[in-house]
Amino acid sequence: MSKNIGYLSGRKGLDDNLFEALGRSADEHGTVPAAEMERLAEKFLIGDANVYSSVTFYDFLRPENQGKKVYVCNGSACLTAGTQDALTQKLGEHFAADEIGQMCCLGRCHENHAFHYAGNNYSGQAIEQIEAIKTDKKARPDTYRAKAHGTPVLTAEFPGLEAYYSVLKAGLKKSPDELLAELKTSGLRGRGGAGFPTAFKFESCKNTPGDIKFLVCNADEGDPGAYSDRYILEERPHSLLLGMILAGYIIGARHGVLYIRGEYPESIRAQRAAIAEIRQAGYLGDNILGSGFSFDFKIIEAQGAYICGEETALLSSIEGQRPEVRVRPPYPTQQGLFNQPTVVNNVETLACIPFILQHGGAAYAALGRGRSTGTKLVCLDGHFHQPGLYEVDMGTPLATVVHELGGGFRHPVKAMHIGGPLGGLVPAHKIDDLTVDFESFAQNGFLLGHASVVCIPEDYPLIQYIEHLFEFTAHESCGKCFPCRIGSTRGAEMLHKAQTSDYRIDRTLFDDLVETLEIGSLCALGGGLPLPVKNALKYFEGELGEYFR
């Protein structure tokens, strides 16, 4: 059925998009009224149940959030910082209880106290200005350290539009195969978590027959603790846009779709402004620079669903479907958006392409270590003396990041959750054993992933954090496969019961549950949750033992 809906949605393409129509209706009414759901179902020739299923899934569309005026961040970084209860209480002095909702995550992990109001995100001391914010509804920009330790690839200063887009002028004079060869030489791997070779994905799509192809940027950065994509979207927007244009040229796509999470309103505005700038300069549209190559962008504003960070769920979302994970094969490079050949990559990956094509694949490959070439953006949360975003060469000791760049911890920390909610839980004593690259983390039983760092303070109960991870997975599950949908809920229930009664969890039963999640889930949401849970049970058995039998 989902394949058929993809074709039906594709009849109208990107200009008249079902998902965007749902979003516009929710902006006006707080949710999508039943009559509007019926009208859109008829217009797009799909069933009423399909539209209803989509509307009731997304946080920003579902009827339960109608009437909400302010949203409190419930991400892991704000949770372990312990700032959100006091924030909610303060907001409660200005809003009714039923006007306060929750969002995850706002990308303000470096200073916490994060909330969303009237189309803007706020954090840090902004809550002290809530009266003024309610009156003027103006943004209060956050500030954080953003610096390179080693080679600045993504944090380099922007040299100006003409100088920067000279890479495009030079690239369009070469063949797509020549540019693809440089990507192969660079060894660039996906920065969204999986570390998949980028050139392999590009080549697969390029060689798949099709008159219409799409390039989709996955800017749905939902990992709590991560704000590296947000940095690029807002502070280095042209590195992403130029990277996407060059990628489109390589794979033969005329359409670049930017799927940006709704929790990042500032990022959406920054990208719109940057796109308008390059359109006026002649770097976008038909026959770019007289090359015969045409390319244009479409921004899709997401509606609040972590699962859309999974590439096939994201494609279903753009089509207006409930964002359920698709069974592969076929892979998106063969049958993706509207069932056409599609490449999906995240922001940081695509933003590396201009540097590679300007300096050569060999220059990029010379950075880093082994198969982990280039640099990596690492995000440090508010538990550090110097929180912020740091670009390091792959292979940089984790100890350098923690102690030198981050300035060490502000208070005792027993573990760091690195790589998002599905990443590894690294005990503090393992810091000296790790380097920032895919292989080091994998060999030590962890996952580099997005390289976001959420600290677990010494006095924060680890059992509560694990329960939080199960609850997060249960809330964000697309529901398609049983292990993820049911297993995450059962896990959260057991952990909660063990903390609130004399119930003790049967360890064999719990291990079976974790194994079922790991090997039986359709995607990395349910399949990745077991990693931090197993890390916790391995390294913190003394603390957790009282809850198990």
Considering just the CA atoms, what is the radius of gyration of the chain in Å?
A: 23
Q: How many helices (H) and strands (E) does the chain have?
A: 26, 16
Mean pLDDT score of the chain, rounded to an integer? 96
- What fold characterizes domain 462-547? de novo design (two linked rop proteins) (1.20.1440)
Contacts of 213 (CB under 8 A, 6+ apart): 205, 251, 252, 253, 254, 255, 340, 341, 342, 343
Give pLDDT, residue 56.
Answer: 96
Share of the chain above pLDDT 70, in %: 100
Per-residue pLDDT tens for 165-210?
Answer: 999 999 999 999 999 999 999 999 999 877 899 999 999 999 999 9
Q: Which of 23, 14, 19, 21 is nearest to 214 (CA)?
A: 14
Per-residue pLDDT tens for 46-101?
Answer: 999 999 999 999 999 999 999 999 999 999 999 999 999 999 999 999 999 999 99
- Kindly tell me if the per-residue pLDDT of 1 is higher than 50: no
Give pLDDT, residue 409.
Answer: 98
3-state secondary structure at position 442:
helix
Give pLDDT, residue 4.
Answer: 83
pTM: 0.96
Q: How far apart are CA 114 and CA 118, in angstroms?
A: 14
- Kindly tell me if the per-residue pLDDT of 376 is higher than 70: yes
The mean pLDDT value for 233-252 works out to: 98
Give pLDDT, residue 366.
Answer: 97
CATH of 2-65, one of 3.30.2010, 1.10.10, 1.10.3470, 1.10.287: 1.10.10
Give pLDDT, residue 338.
Answer: 96
- The long-range contacts involving 130-135, CB below 8 angstroms and separated by at least 24 positions, are 130/90, 130/91, 130/94, 131/94, 134/94
Alpha-carbon torsion, ordered 70, 423, 427, 73, to 10 deg = 0
CATH of 157-365, one of 3.40.50.11540, 3.30.70.2750, 3.30.1490.100, 3.30.70.20: 3.40.50.11540
Per-residue pLDDT tens for 426-437?
Answer: 999 999 999 999
Per-residue pLDDT tens for 459-512?
Answer: 999 999 999 999 999 999 999 999 999 999 999 999 999 999 999 999 999 999
Contacts of 55 (CB under 8 A, 6+ apart): 22, 26, 31, 32, 37, 61, 62, 63
Per-residue pLDDT tens for 264-305?
Answer: 999 999 999 999 999 999 999 999 999 999 999 999 999 999
Give pLDDT, residue 371.
Answer: 95
Give pLDDT, residue 193.
Answer: 77
Q: Which of 23, 13, 54, 47 is nearest to 321 (CA)?
A: 54
The mean pLDDT value for 388-393 works out to: 98
Q: CATH for 368-457?
A: 3.10.20.600
